[in-house]
Chain A
């Protein structure tokens, strides 16, 4: 460590002593020049004299004594040799030479000291600072995490933290702060809040990182900051938070019009609204508050094939034979009731379930169906293309055949069974399903009393969850 300092010291103090020797070398060279009569411009002394506007080592008279005349390089004016004394430069080269050597050596000394301090500091960092860190700190990459160690975790405290940071006007640390905030947002329950994302983007310094030309855009001006905001936008996209014009203006103020985060935002503004409304069954907005609402919306969506479907909510308090206290959501249309009336009494009806259904990103429900096997001798009506003129029939000349009188299959008569009702219960237990059927009997399905009903663990319609699954969401 001290080796560099030592070397620097030795060089600095010894070489000026050698400076005299250098002077002697110069005198020698002058003498050589005289003996060999090399007065050409290429010689070292002449170049040096011309560049630094000096003459001789001690005085210009040296040339007079050795050479007999003053060379052209000593001349003040562009005159060929020999130079007149009147025009000769009077300043000796001795001091200039010394100054030059000193300057060079000083730079060397500074470099030596620089290397010394750098290595010393690095060793200090390596030895002392890591010792102070705990085991957990050493592995964590996020530094600004401690801002979010709040006791109360809600939107207000989160915004207070962000405000506190942005009012301090720190020169660095914005990137680390935003990464930490993105990670801790879910704890505060603000990960789907547009306002909070706006506040976080607002933390970034304005104006400093704006790109002034297109070359800076291509080469990523302030890349860490840009990546950070891109990461934030990606999180917004994942959480289905729709950006707005205000964010665009903020990003233009921070990064400029053509920077990567701004362009990414433009892409989001183009695609997200298009894709949000692509689904014919969009997730309910706002999110349903309790399980009954989830069940109602779910049944409504499942039975949207038949627009006449009525959705009823029953409570097991009204059922005298019920042993538990829950709710039942039922979906049935008049067409299904009519079909049930025509159901032969010797064939059973199955209660199958529970099947899983997803309503939006967070809500699922388990539903049950009332199904019967399709009748074997039932024929499907022959399809007559109405566009083909050959098939046109005039009722006067062509009386309807028995085949024409067969009613077409309704939506509920599928190849894998006739569906009579769809139901969701609060507990998905066998007892609640029994009371569902009792409610159906009371509400216009009196035929059910005469038909045997079988509870099944399997179904041709899909995977069945046998255990008593409770619908996700809060019970009321």
Chain B
């Protein structure tokens, strides 16, 4: 799998700067540190290509030059963003029934950018999974789910695999969000194996209490050789935090979606495979439902947040 790296500036006792390379995974939990023996100035997410370049060159001026090459690319993106801002040409005419593809897996890079996690990676289970190109030329999320619990004395339940789309970024690696406010449905063209999957829309806020906010709903597959198109309305998504369904439910704020992921955690041992053609968005004018779950008040002290 394609790895994205985060560089951290570390100060050693002898006064020399030393960098540590972190291979960061989906949930920021399976962290691995590796020594990295060069100096650089920026603090960014990098491509592994850049790193191989650094390793080859020993001249520090040359290294600094390479750093500025990164800036060049970033300025290009920024330039486009500014143009886009002044052009003031937002998407205004959305035809009902027309699907806007958000994730199509036409190039290999689009598949490799996705982050993969499993309980094995976190050291809490024995499941494994991959996200590759299938024989028919689509994206394939497959692996083996195992509910076996490791003998560490802490873990009680285990068995999950998940993939997550890369977070949208603006120029200079600034964090951005997806804006899906115009649409009512998420559309999936998939071919599954009869198991059910979980779609997660993360809305990571600024404060740490909101970091693990997640809206989820099931993606049920038919199984068999035929493709299926599933349309899931945003109003059906269930609000949860840290993986627990919350008592107070809110509709998804569709302009604040930071992460998109698919998880399998259906408590069945065995192989799974989900072939994905595309993931898109659709508007349906007849879908008037804002939120599928009741918002009535309970007696005092009944719910967790009273």
Query: Which residues of A are at the interface with B, using a C-beta cutoff of 8 A?
Result: 214, 217-218, 238, 257-258, 263, 266-267, 271, 275, 278-281, 298, 301-305, 355-359, 361, 364, 367, 369, 371, 411, 414-416, 419, 422, 458-463
With beta carbons under 8 angstroms apart, the residue of B224, B267, B270 that contacts A303 is B224
Instruction: Check B224 against A463 for contact (C-beta < 8 Å).
Output: no
Query: Inside 8 A of B226's CB, which chain A residues have their CB?
Result: 302, 305, 411, 414, 419
Is there an interface contact between B273 and A463, defined as CB atoms closer than 8 Å?
Answer: yes
Whole-angstrom distance from the CB of B299 to the nearest CB of chain A?
Answer: 7
Q: How many pairs of A and B residues are in contact by the CB < 8 Å rule?
A: 94
Instruction: Report B's interface with A, CB cutoff 8 A.
Output: 134-136, 140, 142, 191, 193-196, 218, 220, 222-227, 245, 247, 266-268, 270-271, 273, 275, 299-303
Least CB distance, A428 to chain B, in whole angstroms:
16
Do B224 and A357 touch (CB < 8 A)? Answer: yes
A267 touches B245 (CB 8 A): yes
Query: How many whole Å from A53's CB to the nearest CB in chain B?
Result: 52
The answer to whether B142 and A463 touch across the interface, beta carbons within 8 angstroms, is: yes
Distance of A73 Cα from B163 Cα, bound (Å):
88
Taking CB atoms, residues of chain A closer than 8 Å to B268 are 358, 361
Residue with the greatest number of chain B CB neighbours at <10 A, chosen from A280, A356, A371: A356
CB-CB nearest 8 A-B residue pairs: A302-B224, A358-B194, A357-B223, A279-B220, A460-B136, A460-B135, A416-B136, A214-B301
Closest chain-B Cβ to A435's Cβ sits at a distance in Å of 21
Q: How far is the CB of A255 from chain B (nearest CB, A)?
A: 13
The answer to whether A275 and B218 have CB atoms under 8 Å apart is yes
Whether A357 contacts B193 by the Cβ 8 Å rule is yes
Contact indicator A302/B270 (Cβ below 8 Å): no
A-B contacts, 20 of them at CB < 8 A, read: A258-B299, A258-B301, A258-B302, A266-B302, A279-B196, A281-B194, A298-B223, A301-B223, A302-B224, A302-B226, A305-B226, A356-B271, A357-B193, A358-B223, A359-B223, A419-B225, A460-B134, A462-B193, A462-B273, A462-B275
Q: How far is the CA of A460 from the CA of B193 in the complex (A)?
A: 15
A288-B189 Cα distance, complex, nearest whole Å? 30
Knowing A217-B301, A419-B226 are in contact, say whether A238-B194 is a contact too (CB < 8 A): no
Check A461 against B136 for contact (C-beta < 8 Å).
yes
**Chain B residue with the shortest CB-CB distance to A359:** B194
Residue of A305, A359, A367, A422 most packed against chain B (CB within 10 A): A305
Q: Which one of B191, B224, B227, B266 has the greatest number of beta carbons of chain A within 10 Å?
A: B224
Among A280, A416, A462, find the residue whose CB has the most chain B CB atoms closer than 10 A: A462
Task: Establish whether residues B195 and A302, one from each chain, have CB atoms under 8 Å apart when the complex forms.
Answer: no
> For B142, what are the chain A residues with a Cβ–Cβ distance below 8 Å?
463
CB-based nearest B residue for A388: B95
Given contacts A238-B267, A357-B193, contact A422 B224 (CB under 8 A): yes
Residues of A within 8 A of B191 (CB): 461-462
B218–A278 CB distance below 8 A:
yes
CB A302 to nearest CB in B, in angstroms, measures 3
Check if B222 sits within 8 Å of A281, measured CB to CB. Answer: yes
